[in-house]
Structure 1
Amino acid sequence: MALADARLLAPVRPASFRDFVSFEQHVQGAAAMTGNAETALAAWHQQPTYLYGSPHAVVGPDEPVAGLPEDQALDFELEVGVVIGRDGRDLTPEEAREHIAGYLVVNDWSARDVQRHEMRGGLGPAKSKDFATTIGPWLVTPDELEPARVGDRLDLTMTVYVNGVVFGQDSLAHMGWSFEQLVSYASRSAWVRAGDLIASGTCSGGSLAEAWGRAGRQEPRPLQPGDTVTMEVDRLGSIATTVVAAAPERSPIPRATPLAELQARTGVRA
């Protein structure tokens, strides 16, 4: 069977998904939306930061993606991820390199309306990520990338297209920390297990949110059903995803019940 006739599935079903924030220019742009860009950048320089994504949200490179029904600001995020090949804990960066089984392209989809609401409450992003993470098209082993290695970085050009037009481009070599350093940090007083996915975070020019932050308004427009987002990374391949309409909302999101009402209803008091 020819590759063009095959339907590629996700090359791994990760046991867990840690998504770092590793590109300085992305932080500069995206944080501008919050009004605290300088504070965010100062904190970013001090140490790596990651969020936990859901491994159950991972989809393959050929699968369409729908956003959340309550969100009107669907966004993409161009990243590279590594898959852990064997268990480790409290690893040095040098040791961490031996635990990386391979590399792949990652699109960490984001529902920005929901994300803004979550982060106003001091948490998140969480539900705003818990619907789709596209990975693929296959797992590329570290030895295949050695020609692109510059010290502890990999000089791989990362490009994202929206409906066939180049939207943004960067090099993986611009990560503020190497993958070995990120894996080492993740393993501090914790296990990284075989099958775990650890992603770089969004590169410069790799998301709409960064452009919105720099422009001070939501332009270009959020993604709409029918749009196609294509991501290419040198030596890793490309993934192309078509956006489809979200499923209709089956149940409205309830507001919290005020404590006074609960006490009156139940008669329970501390």
Structure 2
Amino acid sequence: MRIATFTHQGRTRSGLVEDGMVRPLAENTGPLDIPGGVRTGEPIPLAEVRLLPPVQPASVRDFVSFEEHVEGVRRSVEGRGGVPDAWYDAPAFYFTNPHAMIGAHDDVPVPPGCHAFDFELEVAAVIGEEGADLTPEQARDHILGYTIFNDWSARDLQSREMRVGLGPAKAKDTAATLGPWLVTADELEPYRDADGFLRLALSARVNGTELGRDLLSNMSWTFEELVAYASRGTRVRPGDVLASGTCGNGGCLAELWGLHGKQDPPPLRPGDVVELTVEGIGTIRNTVVEGPAPLPLPRARRRPRHRP
């Protein structure tokens, strides 16, 4: 099933997507309630609705599971090549803002003070059942489905923040696209390869020009392994979003900047249209718009170190 959350004629509903139409589910039935939902009402053309993020995440963990992405972005953001040895030990992730999710076709503002805005092509798993200290085999039953995730990034802010040894923070805080809908895990099983990875084709276009193309199966850990690691010593809960991290081979501009040694292609600007497509899921298409200017904030004060 493909489950969308949308607004139509002032109402927010969830529904099943079929043949260019969305069939509304019963009132107060959301994606996390499937398969309990029952089709109701008349089908509505997708062209007449505004797609919202398919779920409002309880939390968002964004992993970095593509080795090729690490190589390129580390060169671009940190100014050094290679992959840290520690990266191979376990699937690293950071928590990002669950309140900044935007829909598949919404405009995305440039973050305040950013001059190197970037997209990131990712796929995310959505948790449907609570669990703790899961094995990868157990984790498979806890994944409700998958959706596309665009981790919009202010690379200049990120580069400065990472020098502190903490973050990223405001570099990833303004927006993240989730959509266009949630595809239940069973629909993607035919794409699973012999090693347990989902072999889905990924592509990224800016203003109609393809900049990136990769396979989701180039991840170094499966989604089940990501979920198992996320659940270690804690719990994953329904609605949690776990993103793959950005794919390689042009899954973001920063990787290409690292390879080319300069910002080519240029950073995203207002008016640019970013289109990300994932085989078996769909396409999200967002337009970059002008964002607010940063409000002034003082630098840290060197305070006298008095003691009580």
TM range (shorter): over 0.9
- Give the 5 Å matches for 1:83-102: 83-102=126-145
- Alpha-carbon distance between aligned partners in 2 of 1:253 and 1:73, rounded to the nearest angstrom: 21
1:66 partner amino acid: P
User: In 2, are the aligned partners of 1:28 and 1:41 still within 8 Å (CA)?
Assistant: no
Give the percent of matched residue pairs that are identical in Structure 1 and Structure 2: 53
- Alpha-carbon distance between aligned partners in 2 of 1:179 and 1:189, rounded to the nearest angstrom: 18
User: In 1, are the aligned partners of 2:149 and 2:179 still within 8 Å (CA)?
Assistant: yes
Residue 5 (structure 1) shift? 1.9
Match of 1:244 in 2: 289
State the SS of the aligned residue for 1:135. Answer: strand
- Alpha-carbon distance between aligned partners in 1 of 2:242 and 2:253, rounded to the nearest angstrom: 22
1:201 partner amino acid: G
- Alpha-carbon distance between aligned partners in 2 of 1:61 and 1:93, rounded to the nearest angstrom: 30
Ranges of 4+ aligned residues in structure 1 off by more than 3 Å: none
Unaligned runs of 5+ in 2: 1-43
1:234 partner amino acid: E
Residue 253 (structure 1) shift? 2.3
Unaligned runs of 5+ in 1: none
- Alpha-carbon distance between aligned partners in 2 of 1:46 and 1:37, rounded to the nearest angstrom: 18
State the SS of the aligned residue for 1:128. Answer: helix
- Please point out which of 137, 147, 150 is paired with 1:107: 150
Residue 31 (structure 1) shift? 1.2
- Please point out which of 44, 49, 56 is paired with 2:99: 56
User: In 2, are the aligned partners of 1:75 and 1:207 still within 8 Å (CA)?
Assistant: yes
Render the CA deviation track for 1:233-263: whole Å, top value 9, x for unaligned.
Answer: 00100000000001233x2121111113xx6
Match of 2:204 in 1: 160
Match of 1:188 in 2: 232
State the SS of the aligned residue for 1:238. Answer: strand
- Give the 5 Å matches for 1:216-227: 216-227=261-272
For the pair 1:131 / 2:188, whether they are aligned, the reply is no
Length, aligned pairs only: 262
User: Which structure shows the bigger proportion of residues in helix conformation?
Assistant: 1
For the pair 1:71 / 2:114, whether they are aligned, the reply is yes
- Please point out which of 152, 155, 161 is paired with 1:118: 161
Root-mean-square deviation (CA, aligned residues, Å) is 1.2
- Alpha-carbon distance between aligned partners in 1 of 2:45 and 2:130, rounded to the nearest angstrom: 36
